[in-house]
Chains A and B, each alone.
Chain A
Amino acid sequence: MKIVIIDYGAGNIKSIQFAFKRLGLEALLSKDPEEIKAADKIIFPGVGEASSAMKMLRKSKLDILIPTLTQPVLGICLGMQLLCKTTEEGNAEGLGIFDVHVKRFNACVKVPQMGWNTVSNLKSDLFKNINDKSYMYLVHSYYAENCNEAIATTDYEVVYASALQKNNFYGVQFHPEKSSDAGEQLLKNFIAL
């Protein structure tokens, strides 16, 4: 099993590596297209701001590579949002894998949403052995609208897509690497895909 975390200068990657290490697996950090293409499973991480993250992807031409990948790809947090069509954050164009727009939470709730919220309407093997209404850890100010590609939803004033899937592409808004037992189960499921 070769797991590669796409390295484009985004965020807290150590935590993802450690999460796999706790499962007895090594996750390699790489920006080399050949190495990424040769992986069995790919993690597309992201913490930070969307438009600058897209700039970094374009600079390294990863924006062209990522949509061509055929093995399971898991976008986490901003990684998931970048797989969407557009985002209100910095009015950026995403990679357009998921046919959904990313919007900012309304000011009637505290922004960012920070903490543990539940996931419901679970679909896909990614959520195998994870109970409906399990808590996951989220930190975000922008959300993907609920849509046909949603495989989990979360309620924070608005019901939104907290996980998405299209073909081999998966995205989760929450941080499985920080979501205790439920998060660990999700990473195990991803590896088993």
Chain B
Amino acid sequence: MLAKRIIPCLDIKDGRTVKGVNFVGLRDAGDPVSLAKKYAILGADELVLLDISATLEGRKTMLDMVLKVAEQVNIPFTVGGGISSIEDVDALLKSGADKVSINSSAIKRPELINELANKFGNQCITVAIDAKQIDGNWIVHVAGGSIPTELDLFSWAKEAEERGAGEILFTSMNNDGTKNGFANEALSRLSTELNIPIIASGGAGNMSHFVDAFHVGKADAALAASVFHFGEIEIKDLKKELKNNNIEVRL
């Protein structure tokens, strides 16, 4: 049976791993290459490297880092942040990334999803969506969650699938950084309405939150950052707990 995936996410700014609370207030969490290697050894199923550098220099640093991660890590990884063209994706895949994740650039120009899926195959195109529940509606946000759009989470996710996205990485801004659990109701609806894998993101605080994301949220994978970076949850323990709850995991 296909296992549920546990994905540590490394937010990288100018070559260092950082983690914000509710998208702001960044804390340093170490060297991304050694962290990536550590997670692979500890049993992570996949990694997401998210470049949150705002500068061109930061971006160039990222490409070198992707190459180093590919050299040292024997599990798949996705790279996201600031990707807006075929050339960007080509450079990342050639440096050894397995998948790329696009967010704001896809909202700005949805055809980008079609172009990338046609050129590289939909299996390597993840569409990341940051959404916030406002008055009962899930509103998609851009620019690191700072700007609301007119888009509804569910219709945008469906459109992304139809355009060729290989999976959806859904971050609930209401939950992100709170450690109160994932947005399971929205996750479950996404997972039912779409026929591509859904990655749950935002809100992991303890192991039972992951159990809920899979059982209640019907997610295919769950992503978290700080609980792993700061040693609050060990991946091996988490997987044992999931297995005890009859969730298929790679142990």
Q: Is B11 an interface residue (CB 8 A)?
A: no
B 59-86 contacts with A by CB, 8 A: 67, 70-72, 74-76
Known A-B contacts A137-B75, A178-B74; A115 and B221 likewise in contact (beta carbons under 8 Å): yes
Is B40 touching A180 in the complex (CB atoms < 8 A)? yes
How many residues of B are counted as interface, with CB atoms below 8 angstroms from the partner's CB atoms? 34
Contacts of B95 in A (CB 8 A): 14
Asked whether, in the complex, the Cβ of A155 is within 8 Å of the Cβ of B1, the reply is yes
The residues of A that contact B130 with a CB separation of less than 8 Å are none
Kindly report which residue of chain A lies nearest to residue B43, judged by CB atoms.
Answer: A180
Distance of B64 from chain A, by nearest CB (Å): 13
Instruction: Return the CB mask of B92-107 against A: 1 if under 8 Å, else 0.
Output: 0111111000000000
Task: Flag if B5 contacts A15 (CB, 8 Å).
Answer: no
Given contacts A14-B70, A14-B94, A15-B96, contact A114 B123 (CB under 8 A): yes
Q: B2 near A47 (CB under 8 angstroms)?
A: no
Docked-complex contact A116 and B220, CB < 8 angstroms: no
Given known contacts A47-B121, A115-B220, A177-B74, A107 and B195 CB-to-CB distance under 8 angstroms:
yes
Contacts of A135 in B (CB 8 A): 3, 250
User: Which of chain A's residues have a CB closer than 8 A to the CB of B72?
Assistant: 18, 22
Chain A-chain B contacts (Cβ-Cβ < 8 Å), number:
95
**A110 beta carbon closer than 8 Å to chain B:** yes
* Contacting residue for A114 out of B67, B74, B197, CB 8 A: B197
By CB atoms of chain B within 10 A, which of A115, A137, A184 has the most? A115
Question: Shortest CB–CB separation between residue B158 and chain A, in angstroms?
Answer: 14
Q: Give residues of chain A (12-55) contacting chain B, Cβ–Cβ below 8 Å.
A: 12, 14-15, 18-19, 21-22, 47-49
Interchain CB contact (< 8 A) of A175 among B40, B76, B195: B76
Chain A residues lying within 8 Å of B40, measured Cβ to Cβ, are: 180
Q: Bound state CA distance, A112 and B95, in angstroms?
A: 23
**Given known A140-B123, A178-B75, contact A114–B166 (CB-CB < 8 A):** yes
Query: 8 Å CB contacts to A: which residues of B28-64?
Result: 40, 45-46
Q: Which residues of B contact A115 (CB under 8 A)?
A: 2-5, 45-46, 197, 220-221
| Highest count of chain B CB atoms <10 Å: which of A47, A107, A110 | A110
- How many chain A residues touch B (CB < 8 A): the figure is 36
Inter-chain contacts of B96 with A (CB < 8 A): 12, 14-15, 18
Confirm or deny: B196 has a beta carbon within 8 angstroms of a beta carbon on chain A. yes
B5 / chain A contacts, CB cutoff of 8 Å? 115-116
Determine which of B2, B45, B74 lies in contact with A113 in the assembled complex, contact meaning CB atoms within 8 Å: B2
* Chain A nearest Cβ from B7, distance in angstroms: 10
**Smallest CB-CB separation from B221: which chain A residue?**
A115
B220 touches A114 (CB 8 A): yes
Q: Is the CB of B1 within 8 A of A117?
A: yes
In this complex, what residue of A is CB-closest to B251?
A135
Expressed in whole angstroms, the Cα–Cα distance for A50 and B88 within the complex equals 24
B79 to A: closest C-beta gap in Å: 12
Instruction: Flag B196-210 by CB within 8 Å of A: 1 or 0 each.
Output: 110000000000000
Give me 23 A-to-B residue pairs in the complex whose CB atoms sit less than 8 angstroms apart, sorted by A's number: A12-B96, A12-B98, A14-B94, A48-B120, A48-B121, A110-B196, A110-B197, A111-B195, A112-B123, A114-B197, A115-B197, A116-B3, A117-B3, A139-B76, A141-B123, A156-B2, A178-B74, A178-B75, A178-B76, A178-B98, A180-B40, A180-B74, A183-B74
Using a CB–CB cutoff of 8 Å, the interface residues on chain B facing chain A are: 1-5, 40, 45-46, 67, 70-72, 74-76, 93-98, 120-124, 166-167, 195-197, 220-221, 250
Given contacts A22-B74, A115-B5, 18 further A-B contacts (CB under 8 A): A14-B70, A21-B71, A22-B72, A48-B121, A110-B195, A110-B196, A112-B122, A112-B196, A115-B3, A115-B4, A115-B45, A116-B5, A118-B1, A139-B98, A139-B124, A139-B166, A140-B123, A178-B75
